[in-house]
Amino acid sequence: MDDQRRPTGPGEPPSPAPQGPWGPESPATPGPAGPAPAEPGAGSPLGPPDPEQGPRGGSGGDPFAAPHDPSPYRLPGAPASPSPAESPFGSSPDPAGPRYSASGGAAHGPASPGEAAAPEHTAHLGGPAASSAAESGAGHAAGTGEGHTGAPAGTEPPGSPPVPPGAYSGPAEQPAPRRRSRRGLVIGVISAVVVLALIGGGVSWYVLTMPQPEDTADAYAAAWSEGDYAAMADLATGEGDPAAAYKRLEENLGIENAAVTTGPVTEDGDTASVPFEATLTLSNAGEWAYDGTLPLVRADGEWRVDFSPAVIHPDLGEGQTLVRTNEWGERGHVLGADGSRLDESPSGSVQMIVGEVGTVTEDMLGDLGPAYEVGDPVGVSGVQSQYEERLAGTATTAVRVVDEGTAAGEVPEDAPTVGAIEGTDGKDVTLSIDPAVQEAAGQAIVDQTKPTAMVAIRPSTGEVLAAANVPGGFNRALEGQYPAGSIFKIVSYDALLSSGMGMDTPMDCPRNVTVGGQKYKNAGNAAYGAQSVLEAFATSCNTALVQQVADRLDGPALVESAEKFGFNEEIKAGLPVFEPSLPTPDSIPLLTASSIGQGQLLTSPLHMASVPAAVAEGSYRSPLLVTDPAPEGRPEPTPIDTAPQLQEMMRAVVTQGTAEDVGFTGEVHGKSGTAEYGTAEEGEELPAHGWFVGYEGDIAFAVVVEDGESGSGAAAPLAKKFLDAL
């Protein structure tokens, strides 16, 4: 039997031939009477041929000729039907030859008795248009097979080819079932998948974003580490005030830093617990670490710490807190450069530097913190106060449980101890003070009736060897503030020489001179006339200097030289000392006044001792008083390029200048100065301090006598006495 499978669409596999009671293929159920409506010219066998398709049938225009395609029922693009040798209905060619269907197509093999000849497909007759019409259901809608006219058997429409003798044109073929569209199925499956994905995604999002107990615990620990007690309170529930409780703990123990870490969470329904470790750094003690637990509860979908005192420390009950008690070890000592104990020195000047050790009073506790109790030893001045933490060491500290409100110093002896930190003894502080040099300085000024200060410095290191004061009560050697007067001319001549003035530059020293509207005169109304640079410096001629300054310098140039000698710079000596200053002069009168050490300039005996030390060494070193521990951030030495010329000029002061009559012995270099201050009454001279600075060998010095009137008369003799005692 020929292949009666329905045509398939492009790419669709052919349907197997149905089996039924009529043989290998059941006869089709007859369709309704009358021909099925056909679209004119749409590939119908009754319509005119498509001129583009050529004659119907095979070659030569014969409608009964077998088509070239061995599978005439194949739709365009469908796979060809198997060859007779490969037919699923027989394994050999039909010996009877071709048969013809009612529609004129060739059929292979004889019709079996009683077998209805199935209507032939006509897709090959009309080309693509006919195929399209067939796919659109033109024939199926009428209940007929593809290409069937729908006419009763034996009554073929006009123009149809004759039915061969013996051919059966019985009942029409049952139309092939229409393919169900797969598009709807695919859309349905995709829709179901999308819905499930959305549902699953929503569940996942909810699970992933819902609050977790470990998040609350971590945030609580982080807030504790940062000291953000308000944030901790926001994360907590339960009784009490967490913020106040943790603030009280900080104050009681003197917590300087807290580091809190959490462990794995244990969750049980709406409760959970998280272990933590707290490491607290206590002032003047060290670190104390302990373990605890954060209990959490879930309320309204949020996890919160269930606060109670036991959350702070597991040994705390309701109404309890932690405090500390301390026991101090041996206090460190203040030593001199030779290792001797300066804190036992009989020198009043030394004791002003070393300072005093007193006892803690109630009003000190706020500044000292909980490491101290009333009656504990504490430094109250000088080095003892500045280096209290080093000298005191760390107290042996016990952390104890007490009732809230227990005052410091009233901790019961039986209060439980939950932690302890072993203390350490204090460490010594070493000063650069040389007791022998200090003794010489003290003896040099001890008989002074006017306030006097003397400082000695080692030029090669900047170390302070002595600082003496008369009378006691105020350390004017380190903290006094004075105009420099003529000793500042060391700086002014450095500026002039740096600007290009040579040592052979002629100078003129009249009794009086007016520069920039400001009148100047010399001490004792002296007039020296024509001078060399060396002579003008040695005689400390004001009128010669201010003329050169006005011609050669400006404010910034003078300040630049001053800053090479430590002006406008913090002195990092290891103790608080006065910082010398020289604001930039913005006028000729202020510039010239500053050049002779007046105007807005202020300095101290400590600083002015470092100026001749810089000339002696050839570089400026900031004064150093505490050598162990060494102060941080000390500046590097600053070269003084004019040091050789300045050394020569300072030597001339002693040999042929203002200090010639003092009687210095040895290679002493110096500079005298008178520094006016205050306000003069009409017709009277301004009061003045007397200065003398200089150096001999590796010792530089500065002496100031308040209201001394004359440097060479009041201060220079004290310098001689000091050097003679060494």
Q: What is the pLDDT of residues 141-198, one digit of tens each?
A: 333 333 333 444 444 444 444 444 444 444 444 545 455 455 555 565 566 555 555 5
| Sequential DSSP letters for 253-307 | HTEEEEEEEE---EEETTEEEEEEEEEEEETTTEEEEEEEEEEEEEETTEEEEEE
Query: What pLDDT does residue 310 have?
Result: 97
% of the chain surpassing 90 pLDDT: 66
pLDDT for residue 182: 56
Report the range of poorest mean pLDDT among 57-66, 244-253, 258-267, 516-525.
Answer: 57-66
Look at residue 242 and tell me whether its pLDDT is greater than 90. Answer: yes
pLDDT (0 to 100) of residue 191: 61
| pLDDT class of 209 with cuts at 50, 70, 90 | low
Contacts 24+ apart (CB under 8 A), 656-662: 656/535, 656/538, 657/537, 657/538, 657/539, 657/540, 658/538, 658/539, 658/540, 658/711, 658/712, 658/716, 659/692, 659/712, 659/716, 661/712, 662/712, 662/716, 662/717, 662/719, 662/720
Residues 6+ apart with CB under 8 A from 116: 22, 27, 28, 168, 169, 170, 171, 173
Question: Cα-atom radius of gyration of the chain, to the nearest Å?
Answer: 58
CB-based contact 637:456 (threshold 8 Å): no
Comparing 157 with 228, the larger pLDDT belongs to: 228
pLDDT of residue 193: 55
Mean pLDDT (whole number) for 63-76: 40
Helix (H, G, I), strand (E, B) or coil at 542: helix
Q: For residue 2, which of 96, 74, 107, 73 has the smallest C-alpha distance?
A: 107
Say yes or no to pLDDT of 95 above 60: no
Tell me the CA end-to-end span of the chain in Å, nearest whole number: 143
Q: Which helix (H) or strand (E) holds 723?
A: helix 716-725
Per-residue confidence (pLDDT) for residue 684, from 0 to 100: 82
The answer to whether 697 touches 678, Cβ cutoff 8 Å, is: no
Mean pLDDT within 686-709: 97
Q: How far apart are CA 133 and CA 123, in angstroms?
A: 9
Q: Is a pLDDT exceeding 50 seen at residue 91?
A: no
Q: How many residues does the chain have?
A: 726
pLDDT band at 366 (very low <50, low <70, confident <90, very high): confident
- For residues 8 and 452, the model is more confident at 452
- The reported pLDDT for the residue numbered 603 is 98
User: Can you give the pLDDT at residue 211?
Assistant: 85
Cα four-point dihedral sign 522, 524, 528, 529: positive
Measured between alpha carbons, how far is 142 from 648 in angstroms, rounded to an integer? 135
DSSP state of 713: I
Neighbours of 524 (CB within 10 A): 8
What DSSP character marks residue 636? P
Given a contact cutoff of 8 angstroms between Cβ atoms, the answer to whether 533 and 684 are in contact is no
Tell me which of 16-20, 404-408, 672-676 is least confident: 16-20
For the segment 444-449, the average pLDDT, to the nearest whole number, is 97
Instruction: Provide the pLDDT for residue 321.
Output: 96
Longest dimension (CA), the chain: 167
pLDDT confidence of residue 185: 56
The beta-carbon contacts of 407-413 under 8 Å, at least 24 apart in sequence, are 408/323, 408/365, 408/370, 408/373, 408/374, 409/373, 409/374, 411/323, 411/325
**What is the predicted pLDDT for the residue at 648?**
98
Of residues 45 and 649, more confidence is placed in 649
Phi, psi of 245 (to 5 degrees): -65, -45
- Per-residue model confidence as pLDDT tens digits over 457-487: 999 999 999 999 999 999 999 999 999 999 9
User: Where are the domain boundaries for CATH 3.90.1310.10 in the chain?
Assistant: 334-431
Residue 564 has pLDDT above 70, yes or no: yes
- C-alpha span between 261 and 280 (Å, rounded): 12
Q: What residues contact residue 265 under an 8 Å CB cut-off, 6+ apart?
A: 212, 213, 214, 217, 272, 273, 274
**Range with the lowest mean pLDDT among 101-105, 344-348, 679-683?**
101-105
Cβ proximity of 672 and 658 under 8 Å: yes
Average pLDDT over the chain reads: 80
Contacts of 191 (CB under 8 A, 6+ apart): none
Predicted confidence at residue 158, as pLDDT, reads 46
Give the residue-averaged pLDDT of 687-692: 97
pTM beyond 0.85:
no
Looking at residue 480, what is its pLDDT? 97
What was the pLDDT predicted at 186? 53
Q: Is 252 helix (H, G, I), strand (E, B) or coil?
A: helix
pLDDT at 309 over 70: yes
* Average pLDDT over every residue of 373-394: 95
**Smallest Cα–Cα separation from 422: which of 399, 390, 396?**
396
The pLDDT value given to residue 559:
98
353-356-357 Cα angle (round to 5): 145
Statement: 213-318 belongs to CATH 2.60.40.730: no
Q: What mean pLDDT comes out for the span 691-708? A: 98
Tell me the three-class secondary structure of 399-454, residue by residue.
Answer: EEEEECCCCCCCCCCCCCEEEEECCECCCCEEECCCHHHHHHHHHHHCCCCCCEEE
CATH number for the domain whose boundaries are 334-431 = 3.90.1310.10
Q: Where in the chain is the domain with CATH 3.10.450.100?
A: 213-318
Proportion of the chain above pLDDT 70, given as a percent? 71
Identify the pLDDT of residue 305: 97
Determine the average pLDDT of the residues in 232-258.
95
Q: Please give the distance of CA 349 from its chain centroid, rounded to a whole number.
A: 48
| Confidence at residue 35, expressed as pLDDT on a 0 to 100 scale | 40
The answer to whether the beta carbons of residues 550 and 586 sit under 8 Å apart is: no
How would DSSP label each residue in 183-227?
A: HHHHHHHHHHHHHHHHHHHHHHHHHHHS--HHHHHHHHHHHHHHT
> Which CATH class, in words, describes the domain spanning 435-725?
alpha beta
Q: In the chain, list all ranges with CATH 3.40.710.10.
A: 435-725
pLDDT of residue 680: 73
CA 216 from centre of chain: 25
